[in-house]
Structure formats: structure tokens, C-alpha cells
Amino acid sequence: MNTSTSTSSANSGTYRGVRATAAGRRTRADEPVEAVEELCAAVFTSLRRRDQRERGRQYVRGLLAAQGRKSIRNIAQQMTAGAGGGAGGAAAAEQSLHHFIAASTWDWQPIRAALSQYLARTAPLNAWVAQPMAIPKGGEHSVGAGHRFDPHRGQMFRGQQAFGMWFTSAAVVTPVGWRLFLDEEPEATDESYEECAVTAVLDTVREARESGAATRPVVLDIRDIATRATLNRFAEARVPVVGRISPEARLLVTDPRLPGFGAGTLAARDILQNVRGLRMPVEWPDPELPGARRTSLVAAVRVMVPDPAPGRRREVLLFGEWEAARRLPTQLWVTDMVRTEPGALVRMTKTAQRVSAAAGAGVQEVGLRDFSGRSLPGWHRHVTLASVAHAARCLAPAATPATGRAAAPAATSPAPALGQAPVRHSPVRRPRAHAAVLAGR
């Protein structure tokens, strides 16, 4: 460890040195250097040993600078480039990094909490967004790998299924929390896909609360898991939520003045079609085209989620969005923020598109999918440090939407606390929804 520590210290300057061109101009890899140093100093305080903090900084810098796949070997080679250690130095660095990630005992949770706190001070949180991340894997040597159906994309794949919790503000979009779905692992509990996603969300929100942060809404655009059980868990945790639902989800109309009242449970799509005469145009900034604005037709109606327990029956707001007046609604959502104006809710859901754009561009850049191994703690440590790298890229002065810092939508303001909200909604179009019925959970 001592050898690798001295090697790593020597290489800290090398990391900076390889960024400058012959003319002294900074390269793209140099842009986040200052952000990396400041961020690492703030979030690695839970690592008690100096050599661990230095190793964490090296790993983050390596994730940003290494070319191709962000494997431990490539990161080690990046660290030792230009240091004159040759193959032996790279091998020693690789062994040291492997131990730091897969076999060490440091806890990743305090680092995630510190990352959320740092971001909240730098760019006040608007809302959380839950985003699935499918990680294709070909072999049998990765924790949590298996044959899976990805409801977010509507297709089967072999690999890992993870859920990321993304911090979003007017200027920053970056992941801060993770959970891996382990239905076929020895570590597995009897947690379902839906329970795994919701637990990932609530764990991150709880940690933010414990650090003194105000409660902000969660946008859950993971198709068809906004079931009765999910909504009940959010209600019990007192966390406001906007969840995308299936058009077939069954709900009860509660307003006696509206069509369908007293008719029993109806499909959400039918409820909205029955009140399409109430639609109003809503203009929203396009998260994928900075400066562009689009308009949708929106209608909202209060409904009740069927529940056999009378004490848990409560009204929620069902709202839908039409892209074309004579077609069916293309997006259907429910929220417990029943007093929030529908236009604000729709604009809120669009922020999730920023997460999808940032995930598409940033996941590969910082190697969030690139950990290999059977160590679950190793996976958590890798994605935690990759999240720090992603945040550093977002916070760099020259950051762009392609590097994870999405351009701020026009007129975006911080979300109010519990009871109101700003949220967002994911743009990925799936070939087919994985049906789930609210009344059946």
C-alpha cells in the first residue's frame, strides 16, 4: 500500500501535466480539473486515511481522463502515464486500485450524502428523478447479471439492472444514489423490480433530509411502477411524487360533475378522454433544444386510487398530455400534489428529459456501466466515484449538455417544498409498456 501511495502522489502532478498541449492550451480533459479537486476535497472527508482520499481523487481523475472503457486497468495506465514506471508501475497501480474498490472497507454512503450536500449548496435542488440504467453484460462474472426485461425500454437484455437517483437543479443534472436489482443473487432479499426502484429513491431522499435538506418532489418515470403500493410508500414517507402510469391503470373518478363518476374503476386513458374538452395549451421549454419552446394540450382531473383499506384511500391528480388534439394522450401521470397547477406539473415532468439526455451522454464518459466483478461493495464504490466524476464534469466551467450539465430551461425556478413541486419526465420511447394496474397492487 505504501508503494502504491507514493506512486499515486507522484502521479497527481502527472495527471495535470498530460492535459496541456505544446502551445500551453488546456485540453478538454483539463476543463474539470479544478472542479475535481474542490469536489473531492469536499466529499471524501469521510475517508479517514490520507492515502484513501488520494486514491479516491486518482480514481475520479482517471475516470475522466482514461480513453475507452473505464476499467481499473485503463485507469491505472492513465495514472502512470509519463511517470516512467513502465508495465511494473501500471501493474502495481492496478492492484492497488482493485483493492481500493473491491476489497477495502470504506463506506460509500457518506460520500453520496456529502455529494448531495455539496451540490445543494452549489446549485439548489429542484427535484429528484429516478432513472433506470440497464448494464449489458455478456458473461457470468458480474454481480446481479441475468436475463432481464427492461420496462423502461420495453425489451429483454442480459446484464444488470440498476436504478439511479439524479439530482437536478436549474444548471446541474447528475446522479447521487444507486441501487442494484439482485433477484438472482445470494444477497437478494425478496425485493421486486418496483420495490428496488422505490427503495433507491426513498433512501436517497432520507439521507438528504437527515443532512438538513428540504423535501423536494420525486419524478418517477419508470413505466408502470406508480402502483398503489408505490404511492402508499411515498405517502408514508411524506415525499411528494409525480409518477408516470400505464394508460390501462384503473382509477376512480371522484368529482360528481364529471363523466365516469359512480361507474367504478375506469382506465386512466378513458378518464382523460372523457374530459378532453377541459384541455388547455401548456407551453414548455424543450430540454433537448435549448431556447426552443413547444406546446402540448393538458387536462387534469382528481381521482382516487382504489384501496381495500378505507384509511388509505385518498385523492390524487391524474393529468395527461396530448401532442395532437385528435389522438389519445401520449403521457399519463398521477401526483399527490393536487393543488399544483397542471401546467407547472407538465413543465416539471419535462425536466426528466434532461436526465435522460445527461445519462445518454455522461454514463459512458465516466464509466458508470464499466465495473466488472462479483463484488457488490465494489460495484457500489465504483458507481459512487463515477457519480463524483460526473458531478465534476457538470460543475466544470466549460461543461455542456453533452458532458452532463444540461442547459437550464428558460424560466425554471427552484421547486417549492413539500406540497408543491417541480419535477420532470423521461423522454425515452419504449416499443411497448409493461402493463401494471393500480388496483391490482
Query: What is the residue-level pLDDT of the chain in tens, covering all 441 positions?
Result: 333 333 333 333 333 333 333 333 344 445 457 778 999 999 999 999 999 999 999 999 999 999 899 999 999 988 887 565 566 788 899 999 999 999 999 999 999 999 999 999 988 899 999 999 988 886 667 887 888 877 667 788 888 899 999 999 988 999 999 999 987 665 656 788 889 999 999 999 999 998 888 889 999 988 777 788 899 999 999 999 999 999 999 999 999 989 989 889 999 999 999 999 999 999 998 887 888 999 999 999 999 999 888 777 889 999 999 998 889 999 999 999 999 999 999 999 988 888 988 888 788 899 999 998 889 999 999 999 999 999 999 998 755 443 344 443 333 333 433 333 333 333 333 333 333 333 333
Cα 39 from chain centroid (whole Å): 19
Averaged confidence pLDDT in the chain? 80
The neighbouring-strand residues paired with 331 are 321
Q: H helices then E strands: how many in the chain?
A: 12, 12
Q: What's the pLDDT at 146?
A: 81
pTM above 0.85, yes or no: no
Q: Quote the CA–CA distance of 242 and 237 in Å, as a whole number.
A: 14
354 neighbors 168 (Cβ within 8 angstroms): yes
pLDDT digits (tens, 9 = 90+) for 17-26: 333 333 333 4
DSSP alpha helix (H) spans, 286-350: 342-349
Q: Which amino acid is at 425?
A: H
**How far, CA to CA in Å, does 339 sit from each of 182, 273, 351?**
38, 22, 20
Distant-in-sequence, close-in-space partners of 381: CB < 8 Å, separation ≥ 6:
100, 101, 102, 104, 106, 108
Q: What's the pLDDT at 98?
A: 93
Q: What's the pLDDT at 99?
A: 94
Distant-in-sequence, close-in-space partners of 69: CB < 8 Å, separation ≥ 6:
367, 370
Q: What's the pLDDT at 399?
A: 56
Q: Quote the CA–CA distance of 264 and 73 in Å, as a whole number.
A: 60
Query: For the chain, what is the radius of gyration of the CA atoms?
Result: 23
- Closest by CA to 199, choosing from 230, 236, 170, is 230
Q: Which residue has the cell 455539496?
A: 118
Q: Which amino acid is at 286?
A: D
Q: Which amino acid is at 3?
A: T
Query: Residue 263 gets which letter from DSSP?
Result: S
Q: What's the pLDDT at 51?
A: 94
- Closest by CA to 220, choosing from 332, 64, 106, is 332
Q: Quote the CA–CA distance of 94 and 88 in Å, as a whole number.
A: 10
Cα 285 from chain centroid (whole Å): 21
Q: What's the pLDDT at 27?
A: 43
